[in-house]
Amino acid sequence: MVDDKTFFMRILFSMIIGSVIGYERQFRNRHAGIRTFALICVSSSVLTMIGLHIISIFNQLDISYFLLGLILSIGFLGSGLIYKEFIKGKNIVFGLTSASVLIITSIQGILIGLGLYIKALILVLVVMFILLILRGIELKLGLKQAFYPEKSEEEKTAG
């Protein structure tokens, strides 16, 4: 069972980790941003701690079904981020990266909820490397085009 201090620290850590990833998505003008990713990470962490609590109360030995349901529900939510547009004579699919990052953010929340802080930090570093460095490599090599419009100065100041 998780005591109140540990519960609070895990929620705080989840919020920070989710916000870091959400900042990158919001900075890139994507549909899901800081609040969405922070809430996903926090909720996954809390639900994992509830699963740990269920183990201690009901003598359950397995919360894998609980975690499976959590990941499936986040995947369903992520599917709402995926859409297709016809641009420059091509059908372009948007939102796959954001949906994938939503799922991995949920997994980070699970790691934090289980108390695996170092693993969660390693995972956030890997995710940020993929989002920042590999994106740049894709663009430089011409493997991907940036179809999203950049925010105008008015949009940036309006918030």
Please list, in sequence order, all residues whose beta carbon lies within 8 angstroms of the beta carbon of residue 150, skipping any fewer than 6 positions away. Answer: 29
Question: Element (H or E) spanning 87, and its range?
Answer: strand 83-87
Write out pLDDT tens, residues 10-68: 999 999 999 999 999 888 888 788 999 999 999 999 999 988 888 888 777 777 777 88
146: left (phi over 0), alpha (psi -120 to 50) or beta: beta
Q: How do residues 78-110 score in pLDDT, each as one tens digit?
A: 888 888 888 778 787 888 888 899 999 999 999
Rounded to an integer, what distance in angstroms lies between the CA atom of residue 103 and that of residue 85? 23
